Homo-oligomer: A and B are copies of this chain.
Amino acid sequence: METKFTFAKTIIREAGQFIRSAMAEKLKIEEKTQFDDLVTNLDKAAQDLLIAKIKSAYPKDNVMAEENGVRHPITDGHVWILDPIDGTVNFIVQGENFAVMIAYYEDGVGRFGLIYDVIKDVLYAGGGQFDVYANDKKMLPYQDKPFNRSLISANSSMFAENVHGIRDLARQTLGVRIYGGAGISMSQVMSGRLLAYFSFIQPWDYAAAFIMGEKLGYQLLTLDGQTPDFKNRQMIMFVPKQKLKAIKQFIK
């Protein structure tokens, strides 16, 4: 497992380096399901690069990935879950605040996760048998703070429409921050800068944080408190375990 984890840290930084070099060129942008659901040539190229490296090193392993319908189920064998550029809108508009994400599962059991903030050059990696690090710094487990000394983050529509009581919870806190991109947002939760994150996302958006968060005292659940299905887009929350009961007073 040590070897695979080291391999994952190497290829995620290579993918990040590829994106940083290539983003100076003009992007080719396409709409997927609607005008604000975008993909670029670099999302696809970075995914192809990651898959090629995985298939070359581990020919029998399988892949679930965001682009091009690569959808091997996580419960079946050795599965790498890839999000080549998480936060594509930020990538296109801001040129920052996006991440490459990798998670590795064996027969549905999470072994390690990685979130690489490409422009800040911070790699969050660990989970399973591995401690979680932000680059060379070991990350601390959740340190308890009251709601009135905390900030939360949420999908903007879910916040505005108070879906499942998200805005009711926000009112107990110092407010809401919206950064765009699940990976960046959940790395901020694990860093202690946000108490919790609420969104409507896909398996490749949460697979890495699911594993890493577990190690740091966080839980990734659907908004009705279940384990997500790793198949469909679902409403999820990423919250400190020791705050779950207090959060459930508002999130219903």
Contacts and interface: CB of A to CB of B under 8 A. Distances in A.
A180 B36 CA distance: 23
A93 interface: yes
Interface string A130-174: 000000000000000000111100001001100000010010001
A96 interface: yes
Interface centre among A90, A151, A178 (most CB of B within 10 A): A178
A122 B179 CA distance: 20
A94 interface: yes
Q: Give the secondary structure class of A's interface.
A: mixed
Contacts of A176: 156, 178
Interface residues of A, number: 27
30 contacts: A35-B148, A36-B148, A36-B174, A36-B175, A38-B174, A89-B151, A89-B174, A89-B175, A90-B151, A92-B174, A93-B149, A93-B151, A93-B174, A94-B151, A94-B193, A95-B193, A96-B193, A151-B180, A156-B159, A156-B170, A156-B175, A156-B176, A159-B160, A160-B160, A175-B180, A176-B178, A177-B178, A177-B180, A178-B178, A179-B179
Interface of A: 35-36, 38, 89-90, 92-96, 148-151, 156, 159-160, 167, 170, 174-180, 193
